[in-house]
Amino acid sequence: MIEKVLIIIESQKDENNNFLNITVEGQKYKYDKFKDCPITIGRGNAILNIKNNSISKNHSMINYQYDNKVICIKDNDSTNGTYFLIGKKYSFIYLLSDLTFKILEFKFKVKISYLE
């Protein structure tokens, strides 16, 4: 979720399929993981433009990590935030940075802290 806009990101497990399928408000987009990433999301001058005043101009970014074969989503310090809704059962979530998420109307923030 970017503010109140639902974004669905789908990627096949098949290593021969290089595409990310992204759906925003019923509109479907197809991006090549290797050629199009990182995919910037924003209200203007982004690869994926969303015409909504609750979306920052440079809201967030979707990238693909080739080494780990992982889709990464990063909030670019947007005003209204980026939230993750997990629709399927996963055995783990790979965190690269701090993460904000919601369960019902409750917000949670996971902060990464490195021990010395």
Express each pLDDT in 57-106 by its tens digit: 999 898 888 887 788 888 888 887 777 766 666 666 666 667 666 666 66
- The angle formed by the CA atoms of residues 65, 63 and 28, to the nearest 5 degrees, is 130
Q: Give residue 70's pLDDT.
A: 80
6, 54 in Cβ contact below 8 A? no
Q: How many CB atoms lie within 10 A of CB 87?
A: 6
pLDDT tens-digit profile of 6-52? Answer: 788 888 776 777 899 999 888 999 999 989 999 999 988 899 998 88
Q: Give residue 14's pLDDT.
A: 67
pTM of the predicted model, to two decimals? 0.72
Q: Which domains does the chain have, with CATH numbers?
A: 7-110 (2.60.200)
